[in-house]
Amino acid sequence: MKIKILGLLTFMLIIVLAACGGEDSTEGADSEGENSDIEETTIKFSHVVAENTPKHQGALTMKEYIEEESGGKITVEIYPNSSLFGDKDEYQNLVANNVQFIAPDLSKFVGNNPQFNVPSLPFLFDNDEAALDFWDGEKGQEILTSLEDDGVRGLYMWPNGGKHVTNNERPISSPEDFQGLKFRTQGGQVLEEIYSTMGAGSESIPFGELYTSLDQGVVDGQENTYSNIESKKFDEVQNYMTVMNHTRVDYAIFTNIEFWEGMNEATREIVEAGVEEGTNVAREEAITLNEEAFETIKERGEVEITELSPEEIEKFRDALEPIYEEFEEDIGSDVIEAARESNEEHGEG
């Protein structure tokens, strides 16, 4: 009797273990099956700035997330410092799907759509929060998705921050101080008009060529964020810097639509999540890195720094206010109003 009971118990144990083993095998198969849905692919991300910038930190986060979550099936190659494509040809290569992501200065697209002039409108946004609120909103998203006829889709704005002016000739504290100087700008009708209004010239020079152009005197000065000035060491070849925050450098991450929609669901979910992670880091780093860069510039002591008083800033606002009326039709009064509403909600007043 005991032998029969023992045999029965042994038989039941075998059945239970077999069932558990079957469940484990099924779970393993499901897990492997899910992983097998991810396509093996290489993604290229090209940009024109240095590694110690918010843009590059966002790109690195995106790379790390995608490669880890895909189990190494997706490789993300990042090319900073115009090492793959520069200002002049990155967009054309995105259209051709030779690169899958770029994050250019939005002012590069003013020829495609004049509404990309928004970051160049003088003293429109007080800070990153106000600018982000606009670009994440309805009007901002309409602008970012306006290039889809070229096969390009804008995803998220990546801020770099307010711009400040450097030059080799003299300290600048009033609109009259710009008279007769020539500045490098990113290009675009609004930026050209800003400098023309103050009696200065402007020239669009690729970012990768700017240091040499400043060093050789091709232009007298330039405008940029603290992190771009510090990381590219423009203070080595400039004598004066004015803290202005008069216009902005705002990037956006753009992708090729054929690539984006050609991924299967499992692959695209990982890439989408990676872009979101990179966006969060790029936005957080913009504030931190600009603050650190300004301190580094001051510590290096290569430039004489002028910080404008509220009264001096008001003189610049008054001098440049006519630009709004001039470009209202091209940009759209609804777009300008949406931007001003964002600044009222998040600006410093």
Q: In DSSP terms, which residues pair with 183 in a beta bridge?
A: 202, 221
Angle between helical axes of 265-300 and 54-69 (0-180°, round to 10):
150
Output the pTM of the full model.
0.84
Return the residue matching tokens 């239970």. 16
pLDDT at 188: 86
Whether domain 39-346 has CATH 3.40.190.170: the reply is yes
| pLDDT band, very low/low/confident/very high, at 349 (cuts 50, 70, 90) | low
**Average pLDDT of the segment spanning 111-125:** 96
Average pLDDT over every residue of 184-210: 93
> Does 85 have pLDDT greater than 70?
yes
35 has pLDDT over 80: no
User: Is residue 220 very low, low, confident or very high in pLDDT (cuts 50, 70, 90)?
Assistant: very high
pLDDT at 23: 45
Q: What confidence score (pLDDT) does residue 34 get?
A: 54
Single-letter code of the amino acid located at 163: K
Range 13-41 average pLDDT? 56
Point out the least confidently predicted range of 3-7, 67-71, 177-181, 274-278: 3-7
**Strand blocks (E) in 37-129:** 41-46, 74-79, 101-102
Would you say residue 24 has pLDDT above 60? Answer: no
| pLDDT band, residue 25 (cuts 50/70/90) | very low
Give Cβ neighbours of residue 238 (< 8 Å, ≥ 6 apart).
166, 167, 168, 214, 221, 222, 302, 303
CA–CA distance, 176 with 188 (Å, rounded to integer): 22
Angle at 204 between CA 248 and CA 95, to 5 degrees: 85
In this structure, are strands 164-167 and 221-224 parallel, antiparallel, or unpaired? antiparallel
| Three-state secondary structure call for residue 55 | helix
**In the chain, domain spans:** 39-346
Residue 15 has a pLDDT of 53
What is the percentage of the chain residues whose pLDDT exceeds 70? 90
**Contact criterion met (CB below 8 Å) for 47 and 94:** no
Structure tokens at 20: 């558990």
How confident is the prediction for the chain on average, in pLDDT?
Answer: 91
Q: Which of 17-26, 63-72, 84-93 has the lowest mean pLDDT?
A: 17-26
Percentage above 90 pLDDT, the chain: 81
Q: How would residue 204 be classed by pLDDT, with cut points 50, 70 and 90?
A: very high
How long, in residues, is the chain? 349
User: How far is residue 298's CA from residue 320's CA, in Å, rounded to a whole number?
Assistant: 29
Q: CB-based contacts of 184: which residues, under 8 Å, 6+ apart?
A: 202, 203, 204, 205, 210, 213, 214, 219, 221, 222, 223
Supply φ then ψ for residue 263, to 5 degrees: -70, 145
User: Going along 26-112, which residue ranges are E strands?
Assistant: 41-46, 74-79, 101-102
Judge contact between 119 and 162, C-beta under 8 A.
Answer: no
pLDDT band, very low/low/confident/very high, at 50 (cuts 50, 70, 90): confident
Could you report the per-residue pLDDT of 283-323, keeping only the tens digit for each? Answer: 999 989 899 999 999 999 999 999 999 999 999 999 999 99
